[in-house]
Amino acid sequence: MDLKNLSDEDLIYKINSESETELAKEKCFKELYLRFYPQAFRFCLYYGLKREDALDSIQESFMKVFYYSSSFKKGKRFKSWFFKILYNKINDKLVELSRKNINIDDIKDFYGYESNEIVSLQNREFLFKLIYDLPKHLKDCLLMYVFQEMDSASIAEVLGISERHVRNRIKEAIEVIKKVFKEIK
């Protein structure tokens, strides 16, 4: 059977199935990993994790998926369940790294960017700083919506809030960012 044609939920059910061989379960897990790794990596980077920290968070999340796959509830969406796990791992990592600061000069010195690339990085850094300075409840919704392209139902499931709250928080976050841009013009 071609695993690419199975839904995420079917793959996790196969991983939990007692009738599947260990090799079949490993193949299903690998397929889930291949499907979600790129999104998970981007998600970690959008939250400000460096590459190594992002890789650690992703690995820990997939290990948790593997060991706790039996806790996946029928009728739920795997993507929401997985991103809830990853979201918690990211927050754990951010707490762990909370005392470290990286500024644009550190990036410039390390990567050797040219001056026009520095301006581009500074503009991008400014936008990300605006996003990261948002209150956590607004930032979480905005990052999942914009950068992960998750719908409000999935975000609501990850954060444990209503879809209405998600939509209101996204709207509020955008308004805050717009207000800051109007003030600096």
User: For 87-144, what is each residue's pLDDT tens digit?
Assistant: 999 988 887 776 555 443 443 443 444 444 444 445 566 677 777 788 989 988 888 8
CATH number of the domain encompassing residue 9: 1.10.1740.10
- Model confidence band, residue 167 (pLDDT cutoffs 50, 70, 90): very high
Could you tell me which residue, 170 or 146, shows the higher pLDDT? 170
User: For 10-39, what is each residue's pLDDT tens digit?
Assistant: 999 988 888 889 999 999 999 999 999 999
Q: Is residue 17 part of a domain?
A: yes
Helices (H) and strands (E) in the chain, counts: 9, 0
Q: Is residue 30 part of a domain?
A: yes
CB 157 within 8 A of CB 150: no
At 64 the pLDDT is 93
Dmax of the chain from CA atoms? Answer: 63
At 1 the pLDDT is 62
Count of residues in the chain: 185
CA distance 118 to 162: 40
Residue holding tokens 């061989």? 21
CA distance 144 to 101: 23
What residues make up the domain containing 12?
1-99
Q: Is residue 159 part of a domain?
A: no
Q: Is residue 9 part of a domain?
A: yes
CA distance 135 to 133: 6
User: For 64-85, what is each residue's pLDDT tens digit?
Assistant: 998 898 888 888 899 999 999 9
Q: Is residue 131 part of a domain?
A: no
Mean pLDDT of 135-155: 86
User: Whole-prediction pTM value?
Assistant: 0.67
